[in-house]
């Protein structure tokens, strides 16, 4: 037996998906261990071993590969717990991180203070020396000034240094020499060079990426070392890959070289899973866990990569899969303000102490507590019955909201439930409506342990007609990790335009990028037949401030015959994004990208699994009372056990569907059918949506 495993660490639970050579996939969960994530990592592997009927030693020896989505760097940035970092810039350009990209957000909101730069001014030093846009040395590097700056940074006890010199993407000689000097003056201190971490012509995005990378480098290295030590202690001898933020996996040496690519990497795996689960062209992916609700959109069956992800007041600098997050999870805390207004989130009870119903000392009312009171979640069947929930504790917690609002306990619980739903709807609208996309044209794929509880009401609010509750919904990101490629993105500057396109320079650049990508895949052990490459260019109309990314589908060297096709591709992409195109304007090509892709064996394991067909009538295992806001009564709904159902089983709403790792709540008008892989595919009949079930029981006084 040879297993492949993906482990995704969430805010409340750590998910583990295990696949075997026959296409079987099992999901396991264990509480997350904040501050000691490697402990939760090992714990969930022990849970998996027990679930598969193997001893830990036997199981670890049978694992061929572990892929892992880490939250360590993201948590460090969000909680502002990064290391102390110094910054070296060109003389006269000390304020790159102060000015950012120019426009101030909320220019007329006079109460907003101008944000502090990512690296404080007192830790930012400048040195004489200058390279121009053509790569020529205008002013030699002042090495004496570099050594003096290094002495000041050492005196300030910085733990890492970022270097961002102008036009290093064209000629990196000064940045490379600075690193050599810093290695002499500050041995052992990690150094990040901007041209290596983010080779693009925009100095702010290069420098902020370098600064962020440097600030998390020791943290990521420490985590990887602790994780390797923990795995070695268990006798694990297989391969370990880490998720990156561009929708793929990276070997450990590559992640150690570019730790910034681990930022927000876990949530990027959910849209990769959705690509495999559905062939719909436009997909919305919503992943609700214990702490956050992560939402992403796919268009033309392609993930959307954005260059504008934010960390607090700063751009991340590097491209990443476009995933937006809001504080709306099962552990999100509900409160009532002085004006009597209910709020849900963004603060979360997290894994420790967790919702009140977990019985681990939590007393604040959370979304999970509300779902227990509403009857949606069965306290006796949480995690398949492995974790008993305390309904009385949930009632005490939510009772505080009921008292503050002057309503019944069930009404307070429903208020928490629907407020959370509207928070998530707002996040979906942010990535669809505000981007010029009609969400009603999309197919919704649920992810995370809690989304299926909330999806029906969200769908009714948005006016969607179809959605999927995957068989492995509670571990959707982990499932995405199991089927993801090894990926790395390379980029280089070669500025030209359609008015006088420099084919020699661009082809030389593309050849160099492909050589770098091939070397990466070679080092990663990817065989020749499993390698692939995707090429894109960054383009803009002349005098525009910002570029857009355009895929390049041409194979082989570029020739004059290809230019009209490239220009038309830019016009189409510009029109798709901004709704306008200007065919007569000059198109500038600023930089070029290559994504090196290594296809891993076993990535199609999910499609090899086939659920036996449903035999006979679909029967409920029982009924449970669920609160209805329309009637303010308890409706007795049928409860189906997902493990008892076969392909083609019909599940008309309203009903509850239970699996060991999630509960799905289908409202009236929401009718589900299990597909061949065991995913619950739901269609919505708008004429019946929101209808009231006949069987009701009055709420007890």
For the stretch 263-315, pLDDT in tens is: 988 888 899 999 989 999 999 999 998 778 889 999 888 888 888 888 888 99
Q: What is the secondary structure of 589-658 as a DSSP string?
A: EEEEEEEEEEPPTTTTHHHH--PPBP-S----SEEEEEEETTTTEEEEEEEEEGGG--BT-EEESSEEEE
3-state secondary structure at position 307: coil
Mean pLDDT value across the chain? 90
pLDDT score at 216: 96
Choice among 179-193, 301-315, 643-657 with the minimum mean pLDDT: 301-315
Identify the band that residue 383 occupies on the pLDDT scale cut at 50, 70 and 90.
Answer: confident
Please determine, for residue 615, whether its predicted confidence score (pLDDT) is greater than 80. Answer: yes
Q: What is the CA radius of gyration of the chain?
A: 27
The answer to whether 354 touches 12, Cβ cutoff 8 Å, is yes
Identify the band that residue 483 occupies on the pLDDT scale cut at 50, 70 and 90.
Answer: confident
Beta strand spans in 184-248 (E): 191-193, 239-243
Write the pLDDT tens digit of every residue in 225-240.
999 999 999 999 998 9
| Cα 686 to Cα 357: distance, rounded to the nearest angstrom | 35
Choice among 41-50, 397-406, 425-434 with the minimum mean pLDDT: 425-434
Q: What is the mean pLDDT of residues 593-613?
A: 79
655 vs 24 pLDDT, higher one: 655
In the block, which residue shows the tokens 């050594």? 147
pLDDT score at 78: 79
Q: At what angle do helices 203-233 and 37-51 cross, to 10 degrees?
A: 50
Q: What is the mean pLDDT of residues 469-497?
A: 90
Please determine, for residue 607, whether its predicted confidence score (pLDDT) is greater than 90. Answer: no
In which element (H, E) is residue 226 found? Answer: helix 203-233
In which element (H, E) is residue 462 found? Answer: helix 451-462
**CA distances in angstroms from 311 to 324, 408, 645, listed in the order given:** 12, 40, 44
| Cα 8 to Cα 479: distance, rounded to the nearest angstrom | 9
Identify the band that residue 1 occupies on the pLDDT scale cut at 50, 70 and 90.
Answer: low
254 CB neighbour count, 10 Å cutoff? 19
Q: What is the mean pLDDT of residues 10-39?
A: 83
pLDDT score at 700: 39
Please determine, for residue 690, whether its predicted confidence score (pLDDT) is greater than 80. Answer: no
The answer to whether 267 touches 325, Cβ cutoff 8 Å, is yes
- CATH 3.30.1490: which residues of the chain? 485-598
- Return phi, psi of residue 534, to 5°: -120, 135
Residue 481 gets the label, from left (phi > 0), alpha (psi -120 to 50) or beta, of: alpha
Structure-token pair, residue 363: 């007393």
| Cα 640 to Cα 662: distance, rounded to the nearest angstrom | 12
Q: What is the mean pLDDT of residues 232-252?
A: 90
- In this structure, are strands 25-31 and 130-131 parallel, antiparallel, or unpaired? unpaired
| Cα 688 to Cα 670: distance, rounded to the nearest angstrom | 8
Q: What pTM did the predictor assign?
A: 0.85
For the 78-221 domain, the top CATH level (class) is alpha beta
The answer to whether 28 touches 201, Cβ cutoff 8 Å, is no
Please determine, for residue 193, whether its predicted confidence score (pLDDT) is greater than 60. Answer: yes
3-state secondary structure at position 24: coil
Please determine, for residue 106, whether its predicted confidence score (pLDDT) is greater than 80. Answer: no
pLDDT score at 695: 35
Q: DSSP secondary-structure letter at 366?
A: B
**Fold annotation for 485-598:** Dna Ligase; domain 1 (3.30.1490)
Contacts of 186 (CB under 8 A, 6+ apart): 150, 153, 154, 161
12 vs 278 pLDDT, higher one: 278
pLDDT score at 416: 95
CA–centroid distance for 180 within its chain: 35
CA atoms within 13 A on the CB side of 574: 21
Q: What is the mean pLDDT of residues 389-402?
A: 96
Write the pLDDT tens digit of every residue in 81-94.
999 999 999 999 99
| Cα 75 to Cα 369: distance, rounded to the nearest angstrom | 25
Write the pLDDT tens digit of every residue in 331-356.
899 999 999 999 998 888 877 788 99
Best CA proximity match to 446, nearest among 293, 647, 648: 293
424 CB neighbour count, 10 Å cutoff? 23
pLDDT score at 698: 38
Beta strand spans in 73-230 (E): 85-90, 124-127, 130-131, 137-139, 160-164, 191-193
Distance from first CA to last CA of the chain, Å, rounded? 57
- CATH 3.40.50: which residues of the chain? 78-221
pLDDT score at 602: 64
421 vs 692 pLDDT, higher one: 421
pLDDT score at 692: 39
In the block, which residue shows the tokens 């929930």? 389
| Cα 523 to Cα 349: distance, rounded to the nearest angstrom | 42
Structure-token pair, residue 104: 């101030």
| Cα 460 to Cα 454: distance, rounded to the nearest angstrom | 11
- In this structure, are strands 633-641 and 622-628 parallel, antiparallel, or unpaired? antiparallel
In the block, which residue shows the tokens 């189409």? 572
Please determine, for residue 693, whether its predicted confidence score (pLDDT) is greater than 70. Answer: no
688 vs 248 pLDDT, higher one: 248
Structure-token pair, residue 644: 């008892």
Q: What is the secondary structure of 474-537 as a DSSP string?
A: GGHHHHHHHHPPEEEEEEEEEEEETTS--HHHHHHHHHHHHHHHHHHHHHTT--GGGEEEEEEE
């Amino acid at each position: 037996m040879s297993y492949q495993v993906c482990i995704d660490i969430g805010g409340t639970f750590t998910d583990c998906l295990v696949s075997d050579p026959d296409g079987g996939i099992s999901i396991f969960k264990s509480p997350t261990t904040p501050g000691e994530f490697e402990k939760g990592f090992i714990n969930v592997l022990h849970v998996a071993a027990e679930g598969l009927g193997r001893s830990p030693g036997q199981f670890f020896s049978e694992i061929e590969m572990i892929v892992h989505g880490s939250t360590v760097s993201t948590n460090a940035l969000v909680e502002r717990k990064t290391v102390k970092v110094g910054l070296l810039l060109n003389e006269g350009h000390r304020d790159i991180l102060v000015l950012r990209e120019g426009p101030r957000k909320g220019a007329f909101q006079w109460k907003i203070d101008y944000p502090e730069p990512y690296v404080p001014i007192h830790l930012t030093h400048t040195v004489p020396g200058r390279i121009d846009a053509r790569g020529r040395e205008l002013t030699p590097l002042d090495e004496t000034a570099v050594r003096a700056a290094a002495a000041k940074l050492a005196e300030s006890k910085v733990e890492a240094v970022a270097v961002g010199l102008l036009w290093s993407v064209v000629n990196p000689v000064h940045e490379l020499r600075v690193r050599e000097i810093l290695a002499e003056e500050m041995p052992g201190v990690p150094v990040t060079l901007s041209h290596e971490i983010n080779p693009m012509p925009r100095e702010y995005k290069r420098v902020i990426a370098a600064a962020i990378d440097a600030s998390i480098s020791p943290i990521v290295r420490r985590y990887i070392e602790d994780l390797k030590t923990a795995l070695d202690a268990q006798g694990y001898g297989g391969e370990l890959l880490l998720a990156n933020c561009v929708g793929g996996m990276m070997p450990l040496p590559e992640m150690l070289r570019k730790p910034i690519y681990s930022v927000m990497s876990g949530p990027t795996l959910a849209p990769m899973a959705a690509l495999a689960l559905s062939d719909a062209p436009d997909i919305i992916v919503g992943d609700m866990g214990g702490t956050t609700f992560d939402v992403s959109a796919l268009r033309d069956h392609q993930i959307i990569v954005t260059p504008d992800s934010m960390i607090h007041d700063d751009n991340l600098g590097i491209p990443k899969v476009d995933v937006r997050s809001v504080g709306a999870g099962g552990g999100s805390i509900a409160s009532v303000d002085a004006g009597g207004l209910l709020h849900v989130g963004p603060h979360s009870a997290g894994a420790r102490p967790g919702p009140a119903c977990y019985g681990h000392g939590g007393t604040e009312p959370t979304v999970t507590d509300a779902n227990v009171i509403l009857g949606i979640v069965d306290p006796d069947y949480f995690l398949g019955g492995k974790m008993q929930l305390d309904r009385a504790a949930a009632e005490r917690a939510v009772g505080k909201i009921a008292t503050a609002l002057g309503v019944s306990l069930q009404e307070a619980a429903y208020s928490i439930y629907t407020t959370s739903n509207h928070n998530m709807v707002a996040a979906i609208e942010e990535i669809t409506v505000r981007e010029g996309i009609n969400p009603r044209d999309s197919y919704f794929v649920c992810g995370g342990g809690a989304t299926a509880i909330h999806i029906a009401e969200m769908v009714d609010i948005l006016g969607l007609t179809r959605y999927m509750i995957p068989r492995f919904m509670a571990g959707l990101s982990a499932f995405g990790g199991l089927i993801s490629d090894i990926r790395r993105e390379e980029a280089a500057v070669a500025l030209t335009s359609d008015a006088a396109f420099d084919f020699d320079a661009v082809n030389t650049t593309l050849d160099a990028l492909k050589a770098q990508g091939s070397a990466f895949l070679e080092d990663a052990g990817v065989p020749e037949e499993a390698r692939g490459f995707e090429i894109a260019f960054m383009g803009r109309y002349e005098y525009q401030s910002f570029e857009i990314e355009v895929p390049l589908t041409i194979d082989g060297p570029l020739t004059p015959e290809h230019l009209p096709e490239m220009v038309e591709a830019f016009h189409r992409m510009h029109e798709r994004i901004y709704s306008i195109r200007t065919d007569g304007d000059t198109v500038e090509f600023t930089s070029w990208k290559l994504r090196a892709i290594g296809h891993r064996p076993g990535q199609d394991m999910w499609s090899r699994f086939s659920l036996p067909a449903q035999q006979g009538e679909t029967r409920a295992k029982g009924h449970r009372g669920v609160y209805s806001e329309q009637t303010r009564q308890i409706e007795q709904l049928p409860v189906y056990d997902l493990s008892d159902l076969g392909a083609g089983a019909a599940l008309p709403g309203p009903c509850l569907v239970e699996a060991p790792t999630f509960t799905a709540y289908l409202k009236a008008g929401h009718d589900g059918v299990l597909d061949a892989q065991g995913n619950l595919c739901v269609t919505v009949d708008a004429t019946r949506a929101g209808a009231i079930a006949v069987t009701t029981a009055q709420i007890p006084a």
